[in-house]
């Protein structure tokens, strides 16, 4: 019996090892975007418009896939994105851009540590306030984030699959109407307000730090030539399928349970969990909150790897996740992100303000800058050679650039007013 058990464990280990030799990078990318903001936006879409915006989730996943594909091909056939930026604009301007973009990552991490702290506080019944828990979550992210890349990749994959199982389990108990779900995959816009949520769904999925990360991390997978494009795309397909289905389950859960219960608006990304407790029972509340906390914590690590790559490449240095200086930049910035309670104390911004405003800042500043440089890089024949974008890919990439710029221009006034007035 023990021999059979040992043999089974060895086969399981060999299977997992074989999987991670070819796949896993996409799960790191998906984990970075699937955080508190994604849960809040998907839940809001379900509460306000039922199943009508399911098509936007599918479209966002396809857009994210295409953007990551371009970033990966840049890393395989050319060079990491920030190295390209430094060659084109010079070291001084590249460093300025690195600092501006890194500040956006830090703002993102502030809202994520605050979200984790609030979620843990609720799970503990309020016995501990969110502020100390937010700081501790930052320290925990430091410890996890300095592990070797392979360990992080395996952890992110396990957690994303776990989140999918968790939300499928909760949604499965609600028996949502399949015919209504099917109609949601047909593009429609119920009213003008739905357009804002469509843009938000797209914006949280096409996450600009991932454009830098993917172009760096393909080297970690050993993807260096034309033969690696197929496994890279299979990896992206698997990862974005898991992320997309998880987002769909959250939207369906909100539409099937919260909307019929009379909810028309959500206060925070944790509200669905609290509401589910009233409708389905305490178990659903706990499961949803654990998943939400895990998703927010997951996002901290890959997002905060980005500044290390940006700063090192802007300085003209090699960026290696195993390098001491790389880990030092990561550790310092993530520790600072654990000080998110100070944002509330000194600037009057609540957790929901941070969850909405800080990603919006990134959509206004980081996404347009990154989209423009990615478009430039994948169409540069000196960098990509014969592997530069086709006309079709160029058109899709141009659409991403236009979407980023238009979204930034329309969002800027509202975000600026909220920041200077102390919140939403």
318-to-224, 326, 383 alpha-carbon distances in Å: 17, 9, 18
- Asked which of 8-22, 154-168, 329-343, 388-402 is least confident by mean pLDDT, the reply is 8-22
Q: Among all chains, which residue has been given the structure tokens 């769909």?
A: 248
| Listed residue (285, 299, 296) closest to 114, CA to CA | 296
> What is the structure's pLDDT at 411?
63
**Is residue 124 classed as helix, strand or coil in its secondary structure?**
coil
Instruction: Supply the pLDDT for residue 376.
Output: 92
Given 3-state DSSP classes, what are the helix, strand and coil percentages for the chain, each rounded to the nearest 5?
80, 0, 20
Mean pLDDT of the chain: 84
Mean pLDDT over 240-263 rounds to 88
CA distance 117 to 101: 25
Say yes or no to pLDDT of 106 above 60. Answer: yes
pLDDT in tens, 163-183: 888 888 888 878 888 888 999
Please, which pLDDT band fits residue 415 given cuts at 50, 70 and 90?
low
Instruction: Please give the Cα distance from 330 to 145 (Å, whole number).
Output: 8
Banded pLDDT at 9 (limits 50, 70, 90): low
pLDDT for position 8: 46
For residue 329, what are the contacts with CB-CB under 8 A and spacing of at least 6? 307, 308, 311, 312
Per the structure block, which two tokens stand in for 311? 């700063």
How much is the pTM? 0.84
182 vs 158, residue with greater confidence = 182
Query: Tokens 């905060």 map to which residue?
Result: 304
> Is the predicted pLDDT of residue 422 greater than 70, yes or no?
no
The pLDDT of residue 84: 95
Q: How far apart are CA 212 and CA 60, in angstroms?
A: 19
């Amino acid at each position: 019996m023990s021999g059979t058990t040992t043999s089974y464990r060895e086969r399981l280990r060999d299977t997992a090892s074989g999987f991670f030799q070819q796949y896993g990078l996409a799960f790191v990318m998906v984990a970075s975007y699937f955080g508190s903001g994604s849960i809040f936006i998907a839940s809001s879409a379900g509460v306000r418009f039922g199943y009508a915006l399911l098509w936007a989730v599918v479209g966002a996943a396809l857009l994210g896939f295409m953007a990551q594909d371009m970033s990966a091909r840049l890393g395989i056939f050319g060079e990491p994105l920030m190295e390209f930026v430094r060659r084109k604009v010079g070291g001084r301007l590249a460093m300025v851009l690195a600092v501006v973009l890194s500040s956006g990552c830090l703002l993102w991490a502030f809202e994520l540590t605050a979200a984790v702290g609030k979620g843990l506080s609720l799970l503990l019944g309020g016995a501990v306030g969110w502020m100390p828990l937010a700081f501790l979550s930052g320290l925990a992210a430091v410890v996890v984030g300095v592990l070797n890349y392979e360990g992080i990749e395996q952890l992110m994959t396990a957690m994303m699959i776990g989140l999918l199982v968790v939300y499928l389990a909760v949604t499965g108990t609600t028996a949502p109407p399949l015919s209504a779900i099917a109609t949601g995959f047909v593009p429609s816009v119920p009213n003008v307000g739905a357009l804002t949520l469509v843009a938000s769904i797209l914006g949280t999925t096409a996450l600009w730090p991932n454009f830098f990360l993917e172009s760096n991390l393909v080297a970690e997978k050993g993807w260096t030539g034309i033969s690696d494009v197929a496994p890279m795309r299979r990896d992206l397909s698997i990862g974005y399928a898991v992320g997309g289905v998880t987002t769909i389950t959250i939207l369906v859960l909100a539409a099937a349970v919260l909307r019929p219960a009379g909810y028309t608006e959500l206060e925070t990304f944790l509200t669905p969990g609290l509401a589910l407790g009233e409708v389905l029972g305490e178990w659903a509340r706990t499961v949803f909150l654990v998943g939400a906390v895990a998703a927010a914590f997951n996002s901290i690590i890959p997002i905060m790897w980005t500044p290390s790559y940006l700063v090192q490449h802007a300085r003209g240095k090699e960026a290696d996740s195993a390098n001491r200086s790389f880990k030092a930049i990561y550790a310092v910035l993530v520790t600072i992100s654990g000080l998110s309670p100070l944002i509330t104390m000194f600037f009057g911004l609540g957790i929901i303000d941070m969850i909405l405003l800080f990603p919006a800042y990134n959509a206004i500043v980081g996404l347009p800058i990154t989209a423009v440089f990615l478009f430039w890089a994948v169409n540069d024949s000196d960098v990509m050679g014969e592997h530069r974008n086709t006309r079709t890919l160029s058109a899709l990439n141009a659409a991403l650039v236009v979407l980023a710029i238009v979204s930034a221009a329309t969002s800027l006034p509202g975000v600026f007013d909220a920041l200077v007035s102390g919140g939403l």
